[in-house]
Amino acid sequence: MKGYEREKIIPIGAMNMERRLLGKRINQIRKERGLTSEALSEICDVNAGHIRQIESGIRLPSLPLFIRIC
């Protein structure tokens, strides 16, 4: 722990939970806007599978992709 404050270290389980929560929220907003994952992927210029992986919490979007999703 040398050089790091204990509060700044995020347990791996918490990171996975945050990733899933972000994906769930993206999925919810996409559906509220009446978009399919394919339609959102076209808007964001990425593969639909990538969007589905983000929504399921498998992957995190890069910052530029997150901005396009928003």
Residue 40 belongs to domain spanning: 12-69
The reported pLDDT for the residue numbered 28 is 97
In a domain, 6, yes or no: no
Number of domains in the chain: 1
pLDDT digits 0-9 by tens, 15-58: 788 999 999 999 999 999 999 999 999 999 999 999 999 999 99
* Helices of type H across 1-70: 12-32, 37-44, 48-55, 63-69
Q: What is the rounded CA–CA span in Å between residue 56 and residue 33?
A: 18
The whole-angstrom separation of Cα 26 and Cα 2 is 37
Q: Which CATH number covers residue 51?
A: 1.10.260.40
Please indicate, yes or no, if residue 7 is contained in any of the structural domains.
no
Judge contact between 69 and 61, C-beta under 8 A: yes
> Is residue 3 included in any domain, yes or no?
no
Q: Is residue 24 part of a domain?
A: yes
In sequence order, what are the residues at sequence separation of 6 or more whose Cβ sits closer than 8 angstroms to the Cβ of residue 70?
Answer: none
> What pLDDT score does 5 carry?
57
Report the pLDDT value the prediction gives residue 15, as an integer from 0 to 100: 77
